[in-house]
Chains A and B, each alone.
Chain A
């Protein structure tokens, strides 16, 4: 039996998504049902089965950004600019940590390093932890700099690690979250796996046929409870991870790892399914993931599963990989603050095998205080977050 963990404050958030360069654009895009999917223009995709994704078309110019060639780092710096505009860091540099989740790190730089004329800095930039260190330098953070490589569950695990650093009083502020940039490396990979759909992404729909990738960065500023005065977004109450130990690229057929992660996160939060008001599902739109995830949610939430609103935002912005869990955590907190739950774009005919209380067709008026967010990734990674929103 694990101990109940001290809640951690989530003071503010900053994001960059296919909807635009800040939190307001992200939220309004979700609520209005905007579609962030488009043809990818930044690199060649003409030889791939699928050339669409959630590409960010324009980044705001930032001081010094011209020198940053790495796309992943550019996304992080853009999200950080949004975050710092909402809440400056008020701690000694040695007491500020950066903890980021990613599936790809700076791998786009590897493509540049191996291209004719590739430079040494591209080779170093290809290391998966390079973007996190670049962000730490930009923020002046001199505490721990951690990169969590738990694939598409990495953003959730990063928030969990960040909370642990605060609970142990290692630092006073953690900038945590996740990011990933679209590049040919990953588009070619998912194309080879036949995971990308030629149709619309339809999470939990009977016609679902696959996912589309997206790019984003999402950061939250975390502090210990009571350390910050003024408004805040909410609290992280619980986090847990669990391995499937069954397959390198597909979820466990019974969802054992995800179920353990959900149950453990609720236990760490000191809550039960009766306390959960909203579920932000991983909901990729792939036939296997959505069915298994729905089964896990029904098992772990019991009778409450039929009453708790569930959504997935992956049809709206694409599967943003390492950014996804952090982005979805931010969405949970905004839903609680604004009193409205975004709907699952593309979901029109729910698959009976995925039966849950899906938010379909239009946003739902609800003010979820306690949210559960689930994430899965390559290698059998499963993670869950339990979050508490704060009223506006």
Chain B
């Protein structure tokens, strides 16, 4: 096998678990709410006591993926699994808290345990620690177009033999700094829907094509209509929707961010 395949996708959103929880029309279902939040997952373990909500959401999304695909933790553990993490702004909550705490000179709050969590790489780092992932990584910052870039990088790693499987994880949270997103209305749509989504890519028979289409794919439009604004999670939700329709082979997803649209097609 010289190509790749999408083995499974897990979806957690403010609407619930899985794509079946998505409403037909997110805007209508939001009923004027700016943010549809996703609760803090109740994960056991001392280490998770101090971890931020976005870290726990990443862990929960990977855990859901492994359960859905009946893949054991032992299989993904080690250096043969790549982890590609994408987010448009999930680091915002920790950054916001850090600045506010510093401004208020609340030294005890803005302390040693809090600062590392302002780094986007720590979110994927927590996932790597939890699942014992020691393979190649990619950490991309941006909206849906960045996720297409991340998916493409995962296929490159697989095709070049640098890993045996790749997890592409996207997490977005908005509630903690909703006020900032309200100021950047021209950049993001409504409603803002918190999400944590993960796809498992494996070697397969399908080749991929990466390009810059002008128009959104039908799946991109559908994902946005049903899920709302999920930034980097959008293309992975679109993948999940496509698979829900029964597409296990050829499939294409697109994503747009800051005026640039990227597309990836398995064929």
CA distance A142 to B212 in the complex (A): 10
Tell me if B62 is interfacial: C-beta within 8 Å of chain A.
no
Contact B129 A114 (CB under 8 A): no
Residues of chain A with a CB closer than 8 A to B138's CB: 148, 150, 157, 161, 241
Contact A129 B142 (CB under 8 A): yes
Tell me if B111 is interfacial: C-beta within 8 Å of chain A.
yes
Contact A126 B180 (CB under 8 A): yes
Contact A113 B161 (CB under 8 A): no
Residues of chain A with a CB closer than 8 A to B126's CB: 248, 379
Residues of chain B with a CB closer than 8 A to A272's CB: none
Contact A147 B180 (CB under 8 A): no
Contact B98 A185 (CB under 8 A): yes
Contact A243 B184 (CB under 8 A): no
Tell me if B234 is interfacial: C-beta within 8 Å of chain A.
no
Known: A103-B119, A243-B137. A114 touches B161 (CB 8 A): no
Indicate with 1 or 0, residue by residue over B134-158, a CB within 8 angstroms of chain A CB atoms.
1111111110011001000100100
Known: A2-B162, A185-B102. A148 touches B140 (CB 8 A): yes
Known: A124-B184, A133-B258. A244 touches B89 (CB 8 A): no
Residues of chain A with a CB closer than 8 A to B91's CB: 128, 149
Least Cβ distance of B177 to chain A in Å?
Answer: 9
CA distance A2 to B157 in the complex (A): 9
Residues of chain A with a CB closer than 8 A to B153's CB: 161, 164
Known: A94-B212, A120-B184, A145-B260. A248 touches B139 (CB 8 A): no
CA distance A133 to B142 in the complex (A): 10
Contact A107 B95 (CB under 8 A): yes
Least Cβ distance of A135 to chain B in Å?
Answer: 13
Count of residues in B whose CB is under 8 Å from the partner chain = 64
Tell me if A249 is interfacial: C-beta within 8 Å of chain B.
yes
Indicate with 1 or 0, residue by residue over B108-119, a CB within 8 angstroms of chain A CB atoms.
001110111111
Known: A105-B141, A114-B99, A246-B129. A128 touches B134 (CB 8 A): no
CA distance A243 to B102 in the complex (A): 30
CA distance A3 to B91 in the complex (A): 35
Q: Which of A216-261 contact B (CB under 8 A)?
A: 240-249, 256-257, 260
| A: contact size bracket | 35 or more
CA distance A144 to B117 in the complex (A): 28
Least Cβ distance of B204 to chain A in Å?
Answer: 18
Tell me if B29 is interfacial: C-beta within 8 Å of chain A.
no
Contact B79 A242 (CB under 8 A): yes
Contact A242 B137 (CB under 8 A): yes
Contact A381 B180 (CB under 8 A): no
Residues of chain B with a CB closer than 8 A to A1's CB: 161
Tell me if B124 is interfacial: C-beta within 8 Å of chain A.
yes
Contact A378 B89 (CB under 8 A): no
CA distance A245 to B76 in the complex (A): 12
Least Cβ distance of B78 to chain A in Å?
Answer: 9
CA distance A120 to B179 in the complex (A): 10
Which of A3, A192, A194, A245 has most chain B Cβ within 10 Å? A245
Residues of chain A with a CB closer than 8 A to B115's CB: 188-190, 192-193
CA distance A102 to B116 in the complex (A): 15
Closest to A240 in B: B136
Residues of chain B with a CB closer than 8 A to A157's CB: 138-139
Closest to A252 in B: B134
Least Cβ distance of A177 to chain B in Å?
Answer: 15
Which of A115, A124, A142 has most chain B Cβ within 10 Å? A124
Contact A260 B187 (CB under 8 A): no
Residues of chain A with a CB closer than 8 A to B181's CB: 123
The 6 tightest CB contacts between A and B, nearest first, are A379-B125, A379-B121, A189-B115, A149-B120, A245-B128, A120-B183
Known: A126-B95, A379-B122. 20 other contacts (CB 8 A): A114-B100, A120-B184, A123-B180, A123-B181, A123-B183, A142-B260, A146-B140, A146-B149, A147-B141, A149-B121, A150-B137, A154-B139, A157-B139, A185-B98, A193-B115, A242-B79, A245-B132, A246-B129, A378-B125, A379-B139
Interface residues of B (CB under 8 A from A): 79, 83, 87-89, 91-92, 95-96, 98-100, 102-103, 105, 107, 110-112, 114-126, 128-129, 131-142, 145-146, 149, 153, 156, 160-162, 180-181, 183-184, 187, 210, 212, 258, 260, 262
Interface residues of A (CB under 8 A from B): 1-3, 5, 47, 94, 102-103, 105, 107, 110-111, 113-115, 119-120, 123-124, 126-129, 133, 142-151, 154, 157, 161, 164, 168, 170, 184-185, 188-190, 192-194, 240-249, 256-257, 260, 264, 268, 377-381
Q: Please, could you name 24 A-B residue pairs with CB atoms under 8 Å apart, sorted by A?
A: A105-B141, A114-B96, A114-B99, A114-B103, A115-B103, A120-B184, A124-B184, A146-B140, A149-B141, A161-B138, A185-B118, A190-B115, A194-B112, A243-B83, A243-B133, A243-B135, A244-B128, A245-B131, A246-B129, A248-B125, A378-B116, A378-B125, A379-B123, A381-B139
